A and B are shown apart, each in its own frame.
Chain A
């Protein structure tokens, strides 16, 4: 008899908690995979596709599914480190096959620039731009909204007349970085 009561009580408790858990899983359901959102937040959002995925979010999804973490060229070492921290994996050196080498030494950020007199207005670059940073229409000159350009490079290849080039953002007093040893001192007199 005692055993029966014990079984009933325990069974009742189990049923109760089961119901509670079941309710909670329905009521507090998380739709998106939170890890993907977190990974996406770490990526630089250039949407350049250098990793082989059509944008940062798809790459974040791929990393969450076990893709290598070292394919983001614009993010560089910093991003790899952050992703490694988040995913709890080893830091890997950046995968060189995903880095486009443009031969320049400077690591200043770049944006695309349309040489406007050469532009024929083919709209091919507009279709290539992942962030709609190019304005123009068919047979009209195009130009790039510098503030919106992520410097992803994707518009350079489609241009049939090679009128797009990547230019460094010029250094102004607004984006200048203090440098301990580069403050020039000029002789007066």
Chain B
């Protein structure tokens, strides 16, 4: 490193391979100061003005914004915010042509300028020592600064590098013909640039700071030398003019002799490079709280009467700039407007293309100056294999080989030839005697390769998703089969086990059998009396039968009542909590079965024989009643317990108690037919409106059900036997 410094101080530099010396044409603009322009009528601010992602919109159509107010906001480090360059009203947010070689549209904010140029409140920081490094980086990020040399990489990422930095290089070479924006900025704002450099020095703490300026800018060199006189660490390096010495990798090689290897970044060799304009913007942002809303743009070309450097607000349409610089009329000829320099720039497709953070030059050449820009047809001829292109290539590539592979779309070969290391400087195309637009071919090939890589990625993703879906479907299928198996097994078990449902099913079968038997018997009796008229005999028989059945049923009913009583006693023993109300309801229940059964018998008179049916219903009704009683009892017990807990709850509970008991009392006469289990529980739940009580009731019910089921299953069996026996006796 010491030897490097020694060499630099003695004025010796390394050389990079290749390079060209095109006519500089810088005198067109380098002698005039940077002009402050009047405010344009409208600004068109693209949301994305750098490499990375566009932020989220913060404003809406119709909003009034102040100068410097942020318009977008980003959470991703690659998202850089944009700011209102002046005060005004947002008239539209829509797609518009942007500064891109494709001429495609992107989302832009249209700002109607009000001419007042009112600033938003700015935070001026007089003493940098009050700020932490993190705060400074945050200020840089919030100011929306991205590299102003051309690529537009977010500056705060580069200013926040962690590893040890040997060299911080400030790039003021500005090697491309015509462009003098950085030159003028260095001449006029050398102190502010130095301020920015000092901030970067503090953030990165490099061993040395090198300011590289080409020897064709003597005034700028002098200005910066004067500004940095007393600082040991900073060295102003006058590098020989050669295109493209301003390229990052090329400049590093010139200054340090180190070559940044393919696929590596300068930071890997301990080097960080920033443009002078970026340094200026950093100083503005950190010290003055001014976000990046304007930049120096060289508006030049022999088609202009007044070529000059201007302070252009970001978003200024280029036709406004051209008006200010008095573009000459050119008859019946398409006047090309080139954004960027003559080597790396591109023709813009519309005159309302706005200035963005990376646009440093608008070139409007005359026909004599740049005839190729006016030609519609390319004058390309066959490659004569002269090899001049590889002589001038600063990246040690083989441009003609690349060109053939690019034409043949041989992507693997292009990658082997390291197409990705091409910096698209245009030196090869400049020297080509066959006028082959080599860089265009490389750009096309690069885009194709990128597209293919994206497609490959997408295919890989699709494959993974497809496999995942297949796996999922397979799993679901197996799970379904398992479930079916399980439920089938459960069903089988239920059929075999003597569960109440099963026995119920059995008893139903038995009942059906009994009915068939009864029918047969009825038919027999009708056959026995053939003389009588069929209708009469039938009715007679039916009456007789009905009376028989009724008597049978009566005996059944008494039996059932007896059973129910026995059951209740059992239950009472089991549920010792049961109180008086329980007894009352059980009494009511005791009276009921007869009430239930009698109308049933009446019903069954007309039907042939359903003598088993009332018998089946009766116990269930009784059971339900008992259940209800039990549930009510339980709920009451619970309420009593709760009553001690809170007063207002107590009130409610007493109310519900009052409600519940009459409900039960009044119910018994109403229940001529079967009682629904739900109604009492509803009656309880409604007034109480208390979940806990409901749950308690449900638990109580469930418990009661269990016990009853056990007893029913036993009794049903005996009962079925009884009914069958009865029927046999009929």
A binding-site residues for B, Cβ under 8 Å: 40, 43-47, 55-56, 130-133, 148, 150, 171-173, 175-181, 183-189
Contacts and interface: CB of A to CB of B under 8 A. Distances in A.
A175 B470 CA distance: 31
Contacts of A43: 459
B106 A178 contact: no
A45 B349 contact: no
The 8 A-B pairs at the shortest CB distance, nearest first, are namely A45-B459, A131-B465, A176-B102, A178-B443, A45-B462, A184-B349, A178-B444, A45-B463
Interface stretch (B243-251, B333-341, B555-563): B333-341
Nearest to A40: B463
B283 to A, nearest CB: 31
B100 A173 contact: yes
B607 interface: no
Given A47-B462, A131-B465, 7 more contacts: A45-B462, A55-B470, A177-B447, A178-B440, A178-B444, A187-B333, A187-B334
B257 interface: no
Max chain A Cβ within 10 angstroms of own Cβ: one of B330, B337, B350, B469? B469
Given A130-B469, A178-B444, A183 B463 contact: no
24 contacts: A45-B458, A45-B459, A45-B463, A45-B466, A46-B459, A56-B463, A131-B465, A131-B466, A133-B465, A173-B102, A175-B454, A176-B100, A176-B102, A176-B447, A177-B448, A177-B451, A180-B378, A180-B437, A183-B349, A185-B349, A187-B333, A188-B351, A189-B329, A189-B335
A188 B347 CA distance: 11
B698 interface: no
Contact of B347 (A132, A177, A179, A185): A185
Max chain A Cβ within 10 angstroms of own Cβ: one of B334, B349, B444, B466? B466
Interface in B440-455: 440-441, 443-444, 446-448, 451, 454-455
Contacts of A189: 327, 329-330, 335
A131 B462 contact: yes
B364 interface: yes
Interface in B319-335: 319, 322, 327, 329-330, 333-335
A172 B102 CA distance: 9
A127 to B, nearest CB: 10
Contacts, number: 97
B460 interface: yes
Contacts of A133: 465
Contacts of B455: 44
A165 to B, nearest CB: 20
Contacts of A131: 462, 465-466, 469
B98 interface: yes
Interface string B92-108: 00000010111110100
A186 B351 contact: yes
B346 interface: yes
Contacts of B448: 177
B494 interface: no
Max chain B Cβ within 10 angstroms of own Cβ: one of A55, A131, A148? A131
Contacts of A187: 333-335
Contact of B469 (A132, A175, A178, A181): A132
Given A132-B468, A183-B346, A185-B347, A173 B98 contact: yes
Contact of A172 (B104, B327, B333, B364): B104
A38 to B, nearest CB: 14
Contact of B337 (A175, A178, A179, A188): A188
Contacts of B465: 131-133, 148
A184 B101 CA distance: 9
A169 B533 CA distance: 89
Nearest to B101: A183
Contacts of B444: 177-180
A67 B462 CA distance: 23
Interface in B358-381: 364, 378
B122 interface: no
Contacts of B459: 43-46
B347 A173 contact: no
B475 interface: no
